[in-house]
Amino acid sequence: MKYTTLPNTDIKVSKICLGTMTFGEQNSEAEGHAQMDYAVANGVNFFDTAEMYSVPARQETYGSTEKILGSWFKKTGKRDEIVLATKIAGPNPNFTYMREKNDFSPASIKFALDHSLQRLQTDYIDLYQLHWPERKTNFFGKRGFESQEDGWEDNIQEVLETLESFIKAGKIKHIGLSNETPWGIMRFLNESKYNHLPKISTIQNPYSLLNRQFEVGSAEICMRENVGLFAYSPLAFGVLSGKFLTGESHPNARIKLFPQFSRYNSAQCNEATQRYSEIAKKHGISLAQMALAFVNQQAFVTSNIIGATTLEQLKENIGSIDLVLSDEIIAEINAVHAVIPDPAP
């Protein structure tokens, strides 16, 4: 395993992070425990979850993933060996079952944080993230920004002050954002700088061979402001494993089970994936490991969040850390990207 440092901290984290959103939906508690056992045995010390998991979010499984992590911590006693990241959900009219108001008010943050701590059976979170913005902006498969009246009043200073209070109380160590735009990242950085408030360590956004939009704007911010990308969906819901190119049926794949997540299911994505697959075959490597290694090698990436539903998949994904892509392979990847740039929004 390779390790890096969580920006603005002295915390060492594995370059591969175990994503857990399938625990409680596609994976049972026993399977989730087995994945965590395997990941730790192979050097992974970074786990990511969220209060709304498992995915797709629904009232019946709300908090199920955090509960599975909590039972593993209790069983193994390894909480202090793990750098634990979780998230508070932002506004969504479908998530009223989570709490009275899905916002980032002091009361909502306190409620969400305390309940996450209970489910996780811990008294602190290493990295607490805002899952998506309160304001309406372009995220979750929406490529461009459209001006709209959303009633949002800038409360970023108050949000940081609230998070600071929980840092002082020992419930949170560090903070991060998720599904944020360059504007949002800079607003948080400016508030922390000019008001002497906690600085974000990471931004968790999608990043893969099918979606490199982070490189436009946000990557420069990360490099210049010492913020790390916490990359999610590096295999594009399994599309970049190449399994959908064979013509075989995969009824239990995420993209088949949850057709509402359709960003990776397009003719352009299929064409780009086919071309990337040809590069992998030419060089005698697996497409999945090539896709993950590409993310691992980016200088602005702090950790690559990999998810799996089987131990076989998990083994291959973690093994990508040992693959270093040559300049020739990178050039060939970039040639495809130039022709079919960011087919998945």
Residue 243 lies in a domain: no
Average pLDDT over residues 293-302: 98
Asked which of 81-90, 184-193, 257-266, 276-285 is least confident by mean pLDDT, the reply is 257-266
Residue 47: predicted pLDDT: 99
**Annotation marks residue 53 as catalytic:** yes
DSSP states of 284-338 as a string? T--HHHHHHHHHHT-TTEEEEEE--SSHHHHHHHHHGGG----HHHHHHHHHHHH
Instruction: Tell me which residue of 14, 18, 4 sits closest to 313, measured CA to CA.
Output: 18
Token pair recorded at residue 270: 């299929």
CB 22 within 8 A of CB 56: no
pLDDT tens per residue, range 98-135: 998 899 999 999 999 999 999 999 999 999 999 999 99
Q: Which one of the listed residues 3, 38, 53, 232 is annotated catalytic?
A: 53
Residue 263: predicted pLDDT: 82
Token pair recorded at residue 239: 């599309």
CB 159 within 8 A of CB 110: no
pLDDT tens per residue, range 249-286: 666 666 666 766 678 889 999 999 999 999 999 999 99
Residue 342 lies in a domain: no
Residue 148: predicted pLDDT: 77
Residue 215: predicted pLDDT: 97
- Within 9-130, where are the H helices? 29-41, 64-76, 106-120
Residue 256: predicted pLDDT: 63
Classify strands 83-88 and 16-19 as parallel, antiparallel or unpaired.
unpaired
Residue 146: predicted pLDDT: 83
Per the structure, the complete domain to which residue 196 belongs is given by: 3-237+300-323
Average pLDDT over residues 178-200: 97
Q: Which residue has the higher pLDDT, 248 or 291?
A: 291
Instruction: Tell me which residue of 78, 156, 64 sits closest to 115, measured CA to CA.
Output: 64
- Alpha-carbon distance of 262 to 43, in angstroms, equals 33
- Alpha-carbon distance of 36 to 32, in angstroms, equals 6
Residue 199: predicted pLDDT: 98
Cα torsion at 284, 18, 161, 124 (round to 10°)? -150
Asked which of 58-62, 73-77, 139-143, 311-315 is least confident by mean pLDDT, the reply is 139-143
Residue 292: predicted pLDDT: 98
pLDDT tens per residue, range 126-137: 999 999 999 999
- Collapse the DSSP code of 158 into the 3-class scheme (helix H, G, I; strand E, B; otherwise coil) and give the result: helix
Residue 139: predicted pLDDT: 73
Residue 264 lies in a domain: no
Q: In this structure, what are the phi and psi dihedrals at residue 129, rounded to the nearest 5 degrees?
A: -120, 150
Instruction: Tell me which residue of 291, 345, 280, 337 sits closest to 317, measured CA to CA.
Output: 291
Average pLDDT over residues 206-222: 97
Token pair recorded at residue 327: 């300049």
Residue 337 lies in a domain: no
Residue 251 lies in a domain: no
DSSP states of 190-246 as a string? HHHHHTT-PPEEEEE-B-BTTB-GGGTTHHHHHHHHT-EEEEB-TTTTTGGGTGGGS
- Alpha-carbon distance of 334 to 46, in angstroms, equals 29
pLDDT band (50, 70, 90) for residue 299: very high
Residue 345: predicted pLDDT: 85
Please check the confidence at residue 59 and state whether its pLDDT lies above 70: yes
Residue 275 lies in a domain: no
CATH of the domain at 47: 3.20.20.100
Q: How far is CA 59 from the centre of its chain?
A: 22
Cα 113 to Cα 19, 122, 135, distances in angstroms: 19, 11, 21
| H/E stretch holding 188 | helix 182-194
Q: What is the mean pLDDT of the chain?
A: 95
Specify the DSSP class assigned to residue 201: E
Query: How many domains are there within the chain?
Result: 1
- Alpha-carbon distance of 195 to 45, in angstroms, equals 33
Average pLDDT over residues 202-211: 97
Residue 284 lies in a domain: no
Please check the confidence at residue 288 and state whether its pLDDT lies above 80: yes
Cα torsion at 66, 303, 323, 224 (round to 10°)? 170
- Can you say whether residue 43 is alpha, beta or left, with left for phi > 0 and alpha for psi between -120 and 50 degrees? left
Residue 255: predicted pLDDT: 66
Residue 228 lies in a domain: yes
Residue 252: predicted pLDDT: 66
